[in-house]
Structures are given as C-alpha cells and as structure tokens.
Structure 1
Amino acid sequence: MREFPGMASSAAPIRRGFINEVAFAAFCQTANNNVGWPPGELTPEELVRAVSYVRSLPIRRETQGDIAADGGLAPEEIVDIDEQRRRLIWMFLFNKPAGSLLTEPTFPGCGMIDSCKGDLIASDALYEVKAGDRLFRSIDVRQLIVYGALNFIAKRFKIERLGLFNPRIGIGATMSADDLCFEISGKQSSELFSEIAAAFSSGEISR
C-alpha cells in the first residue's frame, strides 16, 4: 500500500545506508521521548546522538562499507534523514495510543540463532523498516518470519501481524501472521514457527 510519494533525494547513493540508519535512530529517539505530532524538526543535538548511536553498532542493518560512515553530514543528507523520520513518526505515532509502540524489541536466541533486535512493534504488529531504493524482497519476509518464530518460542511479545515499511519509497504492507505463514508455507503460524524453532535447535537450516 502506498502511504507517501517516493522521496526525491540528492544524497549520494553510497551514503544512503548510513543515512537510513541515522534516520531510524532519530525516529527511535523521538518515539521513546513521547514526542507528539507535529514532531518539529530534528535538533542538532538529536542528530548527533543518532549518528553516535549508529556508529556504535557492531552490525548495521544496512551497511555500505566504512566509507559510508566517514565525515559529517551534508545539508541534503540531513533533509533526507528528517523526512524519513517525519514519515516514520506519521506512520507509527500519529493518532496512535500512547505506549502502543516499542522500538528495537529484543528476541531471545534459540539454538544456533543468537539473540537479535527487530525494528519495532506497533500495537500487535511487528514491523521491519527497509529504506533502500527497492521494493520488498523475500529476504525481508524471511527476516520477519524468523523474528516471529523466536517470539513464538519466548512468548515475550503479543505479535499477531507482520509488516514492512519503506519510508523512502513510501510503501508499506501488513498481514496477519497466520495469513502470511499460510501464503508462504500452507501452514498456520504456530505450526510453521514450531518447525522453524526445531530447525534452529537442531542446526538443520537450509537456505
């Protein structure tokens, strides 16, 4: 579903991965500080904190190589970051109940899979944010399914829907976990997640 028109950005493509990470980190700051709508422009202090956080991550969600993290941010990159942040705020915070959003939820590991962080849980929906210049891919869906399976094992969060959102292109997709699992496997989510959990524990993972 289209939520916004595609973004026009003059930021260099080699920098986009780093920019996307900073935008998401800036959004998480805003969400965790319970900032309402309209959120206002990103302050220099918030931007510095977001950049520092991204550079501290051992593994980035969207890595472009060390060159992407070098140097300061150009004016057009800051515009890109703030627009992505604004779209994320509108999508996940505007007219939503207070406390309905959890950023970077942690899922306990299982077997050969280490503990990991998702992007966000909005009410009962687990979302991954993908801000590349591309449509969603099967690997994005597999990532959601893995997180769903880890949560099924741990029973840490109430997750009934799975979704993807791309603030750069402006599109999103959400399905119930049962419907998505049935579409890709012909099985209910509980059955598929149980089988994935068994595979994690046994080490029998196929690509």
Structure 2
Amino acid sequence: MISERAFAKSFASFWQELVPLLTPRFVGLFNEAYEQALVDEAGIPLQAVPIGPGTRTDIVAEFAFWGARLLHDRGMAAGGLLDDSAIVQEASRRAFEVVQKYEGVKPDVVRPLSASELREGQALARNYASLYRACDPNAHIDFGPRFQGCGFLNAAEGDLGIDGTLVEVKTTTRKVAGKDLRQLITYLALDAAAGHHRWTYVSIFNPRRGTCHRAEAYALLLRISGGKPRVDVLGELIEFVQATEFVNNQTF
C-alpha cells in the first residue's frame, strides 16, 4: 500500500498512457492560463511570503495549514493565528507529526518553532483568507476531505474542499508541477471508486507564492487524456490500482 503522494510521483509509464498530454509544455500553460487572481483585505494583489533565514519551510507550511484549519473550525479570522496560544500549540504539534510522518524526521531532533518561524507561519495562514475571499461568501469550507483507499492506494485525506472545488495546498516557492495535478486526479479517482462525485473543479493554492490555479475537472481530464471523458480516465486509474500487484520493498 502506498500514499496518493507517492503514487503521483511514480508509475511514470502508467501516467504517460493515462494522460499523455500532461506534458511540461501543458504544465507551463496551466501555470499561465489557469491562475485565479487573489487579493488581500485591501483589494491589492496578494504578494509572496519570503522565506526567512533558517526557516524550516516544511514545518512552517504545516503549521500555517493547521493554524488556518483550526482557526476556521473555531470561526476565527485566518490572520489571528498568534493571538491564541492554544491554537499555536495545537498547530505546532500537528505540524511536527505530519513532517515526522512524511519526512521521517525523528521527534528528538525537532526544535520548537522560533519567533521568526511563528511570524512567517502567521503570514502564510493569513493568505488563506484571500483564498476564501475569492469564493462565494456562502461557500461551505471543509478542511480534510476524506477518501477511501482502493487497490494498493491507502485511504487519504485531502487538504480542502470549498463547495464543489477540491483544493490542494502546496506551500512552496515553485510553480504548479505535473505531480500536483496527478495527485488531484488520484483523489478524483478515489472519490469515484467510492461511488461519489463531489468535485466539479480542482484547484492548487500556494500561500507561499500567493497564487491559486483552478480548472474544471471534466475539461481538464478531457484535454490531458487526449479526448477521453472523465469517467473513462478515472475508471482506468481505478482499474490499474485494483489489478496491479504492488510490492513495497522498503525496509523499516
């Protein structure tokens, strides 16, 4: 069994056959043509959040995500992360857990967040408000949408659902990559395998760069698959993960 992240970054021959037009050229086009404008509370285009000296970017990104999630769950503004010590503590704990899980960092080498890292995390969390602002004011925001496992794919938890849009958060300095789109396609397939059809749009939000890219799922799959409808693309992915015998040779 593997995660959706690992699946999106591997099985190159399968992905090439499934979505042959998901090429570097298309990814470049996606970055240019599918960007959705984000603005701050003053209506000014959102700016990137610079990385400070010594910042542990992975932990700070997860701290910001969990801070934004906890603030939303409590009905609090996304910019008020450092105003609540309990949320800071819980978001920090969650961030360390995630990084330890995915990066293999041992608990005894994880230092508490520094003052500058906390401030940077707050700046990243504040940018989530700009994402909300770009949506319908009455939109239902759901952090952590869950997906049942299928075949050799583990059960998964996405980042964010806003009405019919599935949002993947990538807090990095890079632009959208092909593996990000493959990860979203994997979520759509897991959703379909469970008999659901929750997502009409897919989106990639980057609070570090201050960007958001959004596409209609059916049209995107039709384009990158070379004309196959959504149901066929997702069905082929489901069939592959159910029929393929996966052997994990990693030694623990």
- TM class by shorter chain equals 0.7 to 0.9
Matched, 1:24 2:62: no
Residue 5 of structure 1 is matched in structure 2 by: 47
Contact 2:63 / 2:95 at 8 angstroms: preserved in 1?
yes
Higher normalized contact order (CA 8 Å, seq sep 6+, divided by chain length): 2
CA distance in 2, matches of 1:59, 1:180: 32
Cα distance, 1:195 vs structure 2: 0.9
Pair 1:155–1:31, CA change in 2 (3 A): farther
Structure 1 segment 153-172 matched on structure 2, within 5 A: 153-156=193-196, 158-172=198-212
Residue 53 of structure 1 is matched in structure 2 by: 94
CA distance in 2, matches of 1:127, 1:18: 20
SS of residue matched to 1:121: strand
Structure 1 segment 116-127 matched on structure 2, within 5 A: 116-127=156-167
Give unpaired runs (5+ residues) of structure 1: none
Letter in 2 for 1:178: Y
Structure 1 segment 68-83 matched on structure 2, within 5 A: 70-83=110-123
Matched, 1:151 2:191: yes
CA distance in 1, matches of 2:108, 2:132: 28
Contact 1:185 / 1:192 at 8 angstroms: preserved in 2?
yes
Cα distance, 1:41 vs structure 2: 4.2
Matched, 1:179 2:224: no
Pair 1:94–1:68, CA change in 2 (3 A): farther
Which structure has the bigger radius of gyration?
2
Contact 1:129 / 1:165 at 8 angstroms: preserved in 2?
yes
Contact 2:143 / 2:161 at 8 angstroms: preserved in 1?
yes
Residue 144 of structure 2 is matched in structure 1 by: 104
What count of residue pairs does the alignment treat as equivalent? 201
User: TM-score, with normalisation over the residues of structure 2?
Assistant: 0.72
Cα distance, 1:135 vs structure 2: 0.8
CA distance in 2, matches of 1:54, 1:77: 12
Cα distance, 1:145 vs structure 2: 0.3
Give unpaired runs (5+ residues) of structure 2: 1-34, 39-45, 247-252
Return 129-138 or 151-160, whichever deviates more: 151-160
Letter in 1 for 2:173: D
Percent of aligned positions with the same letter in both sequences?
23
Cα distance, 1:160 vs structure 2: 0.5
Cα distance, 1:154 vs structure 2: 1.2
1:47-104 CA distances to partner (integer Å, 9 max, x unpaired)? 10111122334634xx484489621211211111111111113312677445601111
Contact 2:159 / 2:169 at 8 angstroms: preserved in 1?
yes
User: Which residue of 134, 156, 168 maps to 2:174?
Assistant: 134
